[in-house]
Structure 1
Amino acid sequence: MSGLRLALRAPLEARLDCSGLAPAALSALSDDAVCRLQLLCGTRRTALGELFAVARGASAALVLSGDPRLDGVGAGLAAGEILVEGAIGAGGGRGMAGGRLVVRGDAGDDLASGMAGGRIEVSGAAGARLGGPVPGARAGMRGGVVKIGGGAGDRLGARLKGGLVLVGGDAGAQAAEGMIAGTIALAGGPGPRAGRGMKRGTLLLGRAPQALGPGFASAGAGDFVMLLLIARRVPEIAALFGGGLTGRAERLVGDRAAGGAGEMLVLS
């Protein structure tokens, strides 16, 4: 099965909803049928062929040329691979259940919102609310892996319920707000009010958070065998922190206002 390459004919002048572009569904269509597909661009429906030049690719992946106005790329993806050569807009990987989304650029807000499975890799930075809930949902991301090469915006992992998030830089304010479960590994440090309302889950931090909230307290520094096990079982986490974990960290526990079962481990 051959994949498709969709190359933008010109930079987008309005936001484009790409949530219906799935590799398996598109590869089963003729080129003419693909070109006739209607996409919501701004406030009107536009034929895909007016926006993209369509060609068959050597691999099974769906390849898109990037644009920061490409919204919903990989939304609902259950299988297959989408490769974006450049940036994407908001809602990338929303509700993903499987497959792989690779972005060779930055990603906008709400990346991986409601994600249940699969893998997202972004070489650049990500916007606000990465891994958070979709509108109307009580919990955010609950499975899968998200790997960000750069930093992330505000409310990273808000109400995260599962999965693994790896961030190669700093995060904005209110990281892990209302976090329920899962793991966030942050090579840098989070901004102010990190962990507000955090119930459970773990943050691995390369640097202590700014202005730690009153619901957290230090349990002191120590040696954690768990960190050495993580380094062996999840090499990507070890690589995020320079290739290895010593097992030494300061443990911050909270939020006491939400039960106090969450933890931040500031690595040393």
Structure 2
Amino acid sequence: MHWHPGNGSLLTLFGMQKAGSCKRGSETADFYHILFAMFVVMYKLRKPDLEIPVYDYFTIRPQWKEIRRILNIGIPSGIENSMFQFGKLAIQSTVSLMGMAAIAAQGMANLIENLNGILAIGVGVGLMTVVGESLGAGRKDEAIYYVKKLSIVSEVVIVISCLVMYILVYPITKFGGMEAESARLCIHMVTWITIVKPVAWVFSFIPAYGFRAAGDVKFTMTVSVLSMWFCRVLLAMILARGFGMGPMAVWIGMFADWSVRGIIYAIRLKNKKWLNHQVIG
């Protein structure tokens, strides 16, 4: 759910603070928020200076061939994202059994890990556009070049981001009011993230953006889902529950996930099989 002023208005001005009313109020605000956004987009699409303006929506007819092509890319990506969310829930259920100190430390470490990856993910999203345009123009060598080049850029960004967040982790735990044990666990986990992430993260994520742009979505979905369940979830549960390794077990599983995916994607990038797909015929 996206929080926006409409939520606060319905919850406070219209007396919807109670549990049931609160839920209805936020859902009602979300509905009107989405409805408003829809009308704004429809209005903007009518601008004559657009390359393809849309004036009469009632004359639009679905082109099922194009819709199938879109779904062939969208459905595997959706499954991949859904499985990732299920995996996060499974990991959270394991962490929740470790006590409040571990829960707080894991939550903060996870937040810091997300923050130090934001810029590199932005590079990956940009890579999708670049690779898509290169392949659309039939320039396969150019697509390979940009995957490699932007992977290097992402590596530099990750190293800098990890070092910055490592420097800030102690003040963050201090100003965040974390207890001594939680802060110690958090700093320990962030230290290992700072060591491992620059080595393993880039090739486990960035080339996949290029593969998806080339239409190789089923391969990335299969690798991501299997690696996530066997490494990030299963291995983490075994280490946490079987060997009592605490919240660090979650990160060992994640490091294994990154490493396995990185090796597979590096092989895929080298053998160039990801270029054998066609998004638009």
Normalization by structure 2: what TM-score? Answer: 0.20
Structure with greater proportional strand content: 1
| RCO higher in structure (CA 8 A, sep ≥6) | 2
Normalization by structure 1: what TM-score? Answer: 0.21
